[in-house]
A and B are shown apart, each in its own frame.
Chain A
Amino acid sequence: MKVKLRNPDRQVDLPGGRPIREVLDELGIDGDTVLVIRDGELVTRHEQVGDDDELEVRPVISGGSR
């Protein structure tokens, strides 16, 4: 399974066949701070991912005083 990470943009390969929550845990990412997008659709962390899926993990935190 391909996982695209942002800021900076990079890609990692991880095994699928488990809930997204576990993938995020492995990456050390807090699920409340990212959108997870699978094949162009938003998914919750409870969703299962397969080996052939492509995920984008997109951070939602923005910094600075705006």
Chain B
Amino acid sequence: MRCKRCRGPAVVEVRRHNAAFCKECFPGVFTEQVRKAIRRFEMFGRDDRVLVAVSGGKDSLALWDVLLDLGYDATGLYLGLGIGEYSDRSHDATEAFARERGAELRVVDLADEYGYDIPTAGREGSRSTCAVCGLSKRYAFNAAALDGDFDVIATGHNLDDEAATLLGNTLRWNTDFIARQSPLLPGRDGFVKKVKPLHRLSELETAAFAFLRGIDYVVEECPLVAGNTQLRYKEAMNAIEATSPGTKAQFFLGYLDRGMPLFAQDDVVLRPCESCGHPTTGRFCAFCRARAQVLDRRLEGPGIEEVPDEDRDVARSLSDEVMPVEIYGRTT
């Protein structure tokens, strides 16, 4: 196979575009896709301070690499989840990358900051491990961005992630989640703007980019991923993609063009959580309720309220790990 740009020997094949690229050309092609996404959604500009959520995996480090290369003011944020050696290796990988690139990395440890780690939350809470992990990440990233006065939070979600999430939400017709699955969520009282600049790029492409750029990312999977619903949706989509290349991109990018406008966003009224002050629709935000449950504490507000039972049931029945609760503090 030959490179589409220079006819040199190809190392990456992008089947949905019926194209292949050599090791010199591919990083440029990849970067161009990221620029396109940033421009099209007006994600951020040169003067914005961007907080990049980095996990040590291929996607977030590839994203950080591109943003630094394009000259954006991009600070990394690593959140320590306390998942044994996996977390240690992930932390090391982000530190090593930051050192090599001379970039600023901030580190927040979930246990130090909020009193629990993810394995404990998975054992003690009513939500699935990945659900409480996702909730914790969204909360901690937002809190760190507010704290550090950042303009925008960038995450490394790729096309496969977004297509799998959309599939999960569509199978359940979670219309309010479908309405908000945009690569750009504007900021709003207490919520920092969030963007996903890699949403046009597949998992294979981000991995190839990271490899070709010599990024030493963590290849191993989180040991708690077993049974993860999103993973099953990815496998289902990959099975379709194998015989019909391009299906994933048509599904998600087509949704952005033609689907999203059909799903109305309901205008929820937000007020400060009585425990932590973050915006929510109820008295206490979802994070505080989940945390109180994990720590076996009662939520203290002006009045005392216990963790409502229906939270547990809703979390159980919906398996909300596929739902991006990141938007405006969904609390049910």
Contacts and interface: CB of A to CB of B under 8 A. Distances in A.
Interface of A: 6-7, 30, 32-33, 35, 37, 41-46, 58-66
Interface of B: 1, 10-13, 15, 20, 23, 53, 55, 57-60, 130-131, 133-134, 137, 155-157, 160-161, 165, 202-204, 206-208, 211-212, 219-222, 224-225, 228, 230-231, 234-235, 238-239, 241-242, 245, 321-322, 324
Contacts of B10: 44
Given A42-B12, A62-B221, A64-B130, 17 more contacts: A6-B219, A30-B238, A32-B245, A35-B207, A42-B23, A42-B211, A44-B11, A44-B13, A46-B13, A60-B203, A60-B206, A62-B59, A62-B203, A63-B230, A64-B228, A64-B321, A66-B59
Nearest to B60: A66
B55 A66 contact: yes
What 7 A-B pairs are tightest by C-beta distance, nearest first?
A65-B134, A63-B231, A60-B207, A63-B225, A42-B11, A63-B228, A60-B203
B230 A44 contact: no
Interface residues of A, dominant DSSP:
loop
A21 to B, nearest CB: 11
A63 B221 contact: yes
20 contacts: A7-B219, A7-B221, A30-B239, A32-B202, A35-B204, A42-B12, A58-B219, A60-B207, A61-B234, A62-B203, A63-B228, A64-B134, A64-B224, A64-B225, A64-B321, A65-B134, A65-B230, A66-B134, A66-B137, A66-B156
A25 B11 CA distance: 19
A38 B23 CA distance: 14
